[in-house]
């Protein structure tokens, strides 16, 4: 595949090439929030779950939250992303929204955006979750998880 553009056509062509070489529908596809990549995943792998990269999402959130508020906000957001089940994740998310929607409306909007994709990894076995919640291989093996975003 020529180039490394993140447009739908380029990514779809890459996925189609993988299919031509025998790739079936993956259980889970992990991506950042690039809309064209998401669309290519939805078109090429309609039966696959999509996991939103949590490291990317937390970086987006950190940019919207004041430094003095970030540690508590981050802890609560990470707790929802790493909850034992999707039902508990949704309940924790609801509490984050209730507590911060007035003070941090853009951060709450970002947190809610694509939330179901942020917790898709919770459908899979606990032993797999750490390795599949991000697109960055360094984040999987490093306990500090790049600037402490997911630690």
Give the residue extent of every domain in the chain. 1-52, 54-151
Three-state DSSP state, 87: helix
pLDDT at 141: 46
Dihedral (CA of 119, 124, 11, 13) sign: negative
What CA–CA distance (Å, rounded) separates 135 from 30? Answer: 6
- Contact present, 62 and 78 (Cβ < 8 Å): no
Q: What pTM did the predictor assign?
A: 0.84
Residue 35 or residue 148, greater confidence: 35
Is residue 108 over pLDDT 70? yes
């Amino acid at each position: 595949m020529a180039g490394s553009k993140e447009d739908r056509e380029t990514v779809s062509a890459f996925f189609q090439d993988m299919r031509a070489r025998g790739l079936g529908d993956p259980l889970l596809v992990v991506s950042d929030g690039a809309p064209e990549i998401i669309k290519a995943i939805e078109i090429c792998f309609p039966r696959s779950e999509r996991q939103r990269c949590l490291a990317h999402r937390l970086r987006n959130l950190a940019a919207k939250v004041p430094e003095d508020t970030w540690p508590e906000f981050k802890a609560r957001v990470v707790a929802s992303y790493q909850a034992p089940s999707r039902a508990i994740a949704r309940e924790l998310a609801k509490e984050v929204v209730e507590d911060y929607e007035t003070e941090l409306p853009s951060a709450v909007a970002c947190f809610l955006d694509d939330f179901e994709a942020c917790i898709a990894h919770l459908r899979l076995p606990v032993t797999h979750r750490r390795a599949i919640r991000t697109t960055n291989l360094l984040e999987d093996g490093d306990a500090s998880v790049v600037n402490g975003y997911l630690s």
